[in-house]
Amino acid sequence: MSNETMNNEQIPKWLWRLAWWSFVILILVIAAMVMAVALGAGDPKPMGSLTWEDRLDSRARWQTFGDELFFGSGGLVINLKQKSDYGGAVTTVEAATQFTLEAAAAQSNGEMGAFYGIIFNYRDSDHYSAVMINGNGYVEVFEKGGKVLMPQQEWPNILLGNESNRVRLDAMNGEGLIRINDEELMRLPITGGEAGIVARASAANQRVRFSWVKVWSR
């Protein structure tokens, strides 16, 4: 009789069953965790309940700046003809001590590198704070007409190319937390004013499309 046969006979059947069922339970737990993550169970929750969602098929809610902005069934298209051209739209966020603003966008045409994102603390088209990213994987945070809060740099959580990215602001009692695709970027002050979306050209003849904007508040 081989040593292997003797060793197997010496192990009680109940111990074999326990090991087998422990393995099965472990596989089921891992599968449940993977499914929960896929369904968004681990996503950071917005501030409060959904106040409104705009698919940007109408300009009724928005005050715009820039030359070529087109609202339609596919969202808001911003055509940027010359390098450094800006375009965007802002709206009043309901008075609340806590709110979340999130927008989804992607570059849809032209040499890759156009910047897009969200603006807040907006007083006019020359005075606001902005978080902007591009399809080359770069981010920057600044106050237009003011200081640079985060110099332009690469960021690992940005989807590249023409993939759609989400930029989000969670505001609470005068402080804002910026997220890109749910991952934390930085905190900065919220001083009031309007909020919205913005795009900037890095080269001539670029196009950015915003597909939706959502606001939660409490």
CATH (domain of 117): 2.60.120.200
Pick from 194, 134, 192, 207: which is nearest to 167 by CA?
A: 134
Looking at the fold, whether 177 and 97 belong to one and the same domain comes out as yes
Pick from 120, 129, 77, 82: which is nearest to 100 by CA?
A: 120
Q: Which of 2-6, 83-87, 111-115 has the lowest mean pLDDT?
A: 2-6
Looking at the fold, whether 96 and 200 belong to one and the same domain comes out as yes
Looking at the fold, whether 96 and 16 belong to one and the same domain comes out as no
Give me Rg for the CA atoms of the chain.
24
Global pTM? 0.80
Residue 120 domain-assigned (yes or no): yes
Residue 43 domain-assigned (yes or no): no
Residue 44 domain-assigned (yes or no): no
Residue 20 domain-assigned (yes or no): yes
Looking at the fold, whether 149 and 125 belong to one and the same domain comes out as yes
Looking at the fold, whether 117 and 170 belong to one and the same domain comes out as yes
Higher pLDDT, 17 or 99: 99
Domain count, the chain: 2
Phi, psi angle pair for 211, to nearest 5°: -95, -30
Looking at the fold, whether 32 and 81 belong to one and the same domain comes out as no
Residue 188 domain-assigned (yes or no): yes
Give the model's pLDDT for residue 130. Answer: 97
Looking at the fold, whether 24 and 100 belong to one and the same domain comes out as no
Domain of residue 13 covers: 3-38
Q: What is the mean pLDDT of residues 157-182?
A: 96
Average pLDDT, the chain: 87
- Rounded CA gap, 201 and 86, in Å? 7
What number of H helices and E strands is found in the chain? Answer: 2, 15
